[in-house]
Structure 1
Amino acid sequence: MQRLGRGQAAILVTLVLLLALTVVLAATGWNSAESVQMTSAGWLAMGFGIFFSLLIGCGLMALMFYSSRSGYDEAADPFRDPRENASDGPRRPTDRPDHTIP
């Protein structure tokens, strides 16, 4: 296992502290709203919001996987032979003898 460098450790500590701060603020906000009563219309609106947020999120993820597996996400490359096997993976410009880097 590779050891973390100073920069990586600093980023990790910062992210953990931000997560802890977020949890504390969420708990404080949740506990401060104890006396607030939500009507049935509020519960219904919250339920619809959660449902449609999940529906849109799942739909977009499904489209992303479909697009990725269908080859629609391939980068445009005017130098690539269209008959080239896609399973070879993307080629770097230096892999082609007819292409020079300025």
Structure 2
Amino acid sequence: MSGPRSGPRLSTGALFIIVVLVALLGVSIWMAVDVWTSTDRAAAQADGQGEVSGHGIIALILGGIGSVIVGGGLMALVFFSNRSGHDQTVHDEYKSRVHPDDDPLR
């Protein structure tokens, strides 16, 4: 048997960030469930129909998936644009045209 594994350990700051992000995820899930159930109750009190139809659920799912696909596609485009050097070309061209004292991006 081998002894305890001595690999890279998380720093206190990294561990703190992970705990905060997991807490935020938990709060957001709790709020989403709360809002979802409260709208059902409000709709049921208003007109007696508190259910979201099957078409509504499908629309919500497709909208969420579509948003993730569009967001992922845009992030991929930014990543590949940066890797191909196009961003650096634009940055160099900008720097050659603007005097350092007048640069608003400084």
Higher helix content, 1 or 2: 2
TM-score with structure 1 setting the length: 0.47
By relative contact order (CA 8 Å, sep 6+), the higher-ranking structure is 2
